[in-house]
Amino acid sequence: MDNDNPIGIFDSGIGGLTVARAIHKRLPAERLIYFGDTAHLPYGDKSAAAIQAYSIKITDILIREGCKLIVIACNSASSAAYELLREYSGSKAKIINVIDPMVDYVSEKFSGKSVGLIGTRQTIQSNIYLQKLLSKDPEADLISLATPLLVPMIEEGFMHDKISRDIISEYLGYEAFCNISSLILGCTHYPLIKDEIEDYYSGKVEALDSSEIVAAHLHKYLQENQMESNIRKGENKFFVSDYTASFEALTRMFFGEEIHLEKFRLWE
């Protein structure tokens, strides 16, 4: 496969744009194809089987678009569908998830310390973060909390206001979080409220943003496997399964360039 082929990225909505933006900044020579499954968001309250079905269909589309590598920019899909997508894609495209790079980072930087995790119900109930952390650090101390209101809050534009502060305070006031050293933002939507989360803790707890960690991991992966593009050939492309003006506006803001959303229904 040609190194100049694009990198595919997908999520249920705007959250994965945080990952796409971090990759775009770190690897400007790479052409990106982003798929936001806005018709089925959020994934966090869907069954594993439903998430797998959506993920397979989107992976098919991205492979047909010639993607050399696909980033699952969603914790819920990473927990429910990563192994399935690896098997399904075979040699057609490499698959990277957002959980493994974060687990590697936490096990290296916060070994022996109490770490918090917030995420969707799907991510928390899968217990995948704890399982993977324990495989690297048997003494890992991870305290998890499902925070299902945060994704719809962000998708509806409630950020940096009284509503968001009240919801964030309600969740982060969880008694078991009182002694954590850091907090894993276990959903790619959450970096959009990272500053509000860190404000709640008055800077005493580090909020761990998966987007930057995943971008760094991807960069290293491309270098090690000699898959880096030397020059971007063509423009980034953005697909959605259901058009929304707010998604288009946010995408334009994130990338600082004129973009056009293409509506691409998973099932007609």
Q: Which residues are designated catalytic?
A: 74, 187
Neighbouring C-beta atoms of residue 247, cutoff 10 Å: 20
Helix (H) or strand (E) holding 238: strand 237-240
* CA dihedral sign of residues 55, 61, 63, 69: negative
d(CA 181, CA 167): 21
Tokens of 27: 């690897």
Q: Is the peptide bond before 42 cis (omega within 30 degrees of 0)?
A: yes
SS3 state at 132: helix
Q: What is the 3-state secondary structure (H, E, C) of 151-220?
A: HHHHHCCCCCCHHHHHHHHHHHCCHHHCCCCEEEEECCCHHHHHHHHHHHCCCCCEEECHHHHHHHHHHH
CB 236 within 8 A of CB 255: yes
